[in-house]
Chain A
């Protein structure tokens, strides 16, 4: 889906040179994604089952190996893992036997975009009012927010790079808008 979304965005954008592609914006590798809801008393058991620290504070990302959990709400996580990782539902069911949890596979609901470069924060801030200064939004912070008219999950992976999780029907809109904004911030 990301292929279609970004190809579509490429077709529509106005490039300074025909055929030029903004190399700062690229689709992420295929991911498997879950929305995980956990009550307080299940945090450590779930962490042991998936190898992730679910006790990290809200709006933080915790990464262990290939798996990442973004704590988007007090009891809500977005779990990202490579598309080949099929062990999450089984592992969680075994580790949380008899406990309450909710796990929804949203792999095909969303698509990921990676944005990198010295102007990455400024490009997002063109249409997102969140404070993206390193003091207010440090590396490893992740939150749901609003990007122009699209709801996105924004995750800072380094001081100058971000991972955006976008509902797939919004992906052409977000990608095209990022290309358009990128014209203001030449490399």
Chain B
């Protein structure tokens, strides 16, 4: 089973986690145009390779964190707490 390193709990089995979509998506300002709102709500980079994602340790500490995962190999390159800047 794939082990995911939670930044709070350490390595835990994959089934304890839930996926939270792409990370570092900046919310559109209140006066944004329809096109900007569409981009914020629906358009994701969907990168092939290294991809910044949000994950939640749902059946563990319950916290959201960010991860950088390779979408080709499923390898977790790094995980870091919300608000931290990746190395």
Contact = CB atoms under 8 A, between A and B. Distances in A.
Contact of A144 (B1, B13, B15, B59): B59
Interface residues on A, range: 10 to 19
Contact of B15 (A59, A74, A129): A129
Contacts of A143: 9, 60-61
B62 A72 contact: yes
A21 interface: no
B16 A73 contact: no
A108 B51 CA distance: 42
Contacts of B16: 145-146
B61 A73 contact: yes
Interface in A8-59: 58-59
B69 interface: no
Interface residues on B, range: 10 to 19
A146 B15 contact: yes
B9 A59 contact: yes
Contacts of A76: 61-62
Given A129-B1, A129-B15, A74 B61 contact: yes
Given A58-B8, A58-B9, A145-B16, A72 B1 contact: no
B12 A144 contact: no
Interface string A114-154: 00000000000000011000000000000111100001000
Contacts of B9: 58-59, 143
Interface string B4-22: 0000110011011000000
Considering residues B8, B60, B63, which has the most beta carbons from chain A within 10 angstroms of its beta carbon? B60
Interface of B: 1, 8-9, 12-13, 15-16, 59-63
9 contacts: A59-B9, A74-B63, A129-B1, A129-B13, A129-B15, A130-B12, A143-B9, A143-B61, A144-B59
Cβ-closest 4 pairs across A and B: A73-B61, A129-B13, A146-B59, A73-B62
